[in-house]
Amino acid sequence: MYFLIYYFQLVRKIQTQEATIESLSAQLVALETSDTLVRAKEQHEAIVSTLRQKHESEVLILKEHLDTANAKVEDRETQIIKLKQQLGSLVKNSENAHIDRADTINRLTRSLEDSQKQCQELLEAGQA
């Protein structure tokens, strides 16, 4: 009978130890999974950080390009204003030159008419 009690005690110990082993195995699996998740999270954070830095760098480069393009646009707008002013001045000078030419032509036409009239009078006076 002593063997039977000893046997049951051993069976109970074995069962307890097997339960402990199963519990520890489950905890180990959980820790391994947790460790994998931690590593995956760290990798994810590293990738996100790298992508964020790359994005910030690209945004900075694009801002510089935009600033350069805006400066070129401002220069072109300044050139356009100057060219419009020059064109206005040239148009005004051209109009003044046309007016002066027309005045000169009118003056010369009157002078020619006066000269022709004098010539006609001289011819008529010479024939009489």
pLDDT at res. 122: 85
Weakly modelled stretches of the chain, pLDDT under 70: 35, 128
pLDDT at res. 39: 81
pLDDT at res. 88: 96
pLDDT at res. 42: 85
pLDDT at res. 111: 94
Task: List Cα–Cα distances, 66 to 1, 45, 62, 76, in angstroms.
Answer: 95, 31, 6, 15
Task: List Cα–Cα distances, 63 to 58, 68, 75, 77, 96, in angstroms.
Answer: 9, 9, 18, 21, 49
pTM of the model: 0.52
pLDDT at res. 5: 80
pLDDT at res. 128: 65
Distance CA 84, CA 78 (A): 10
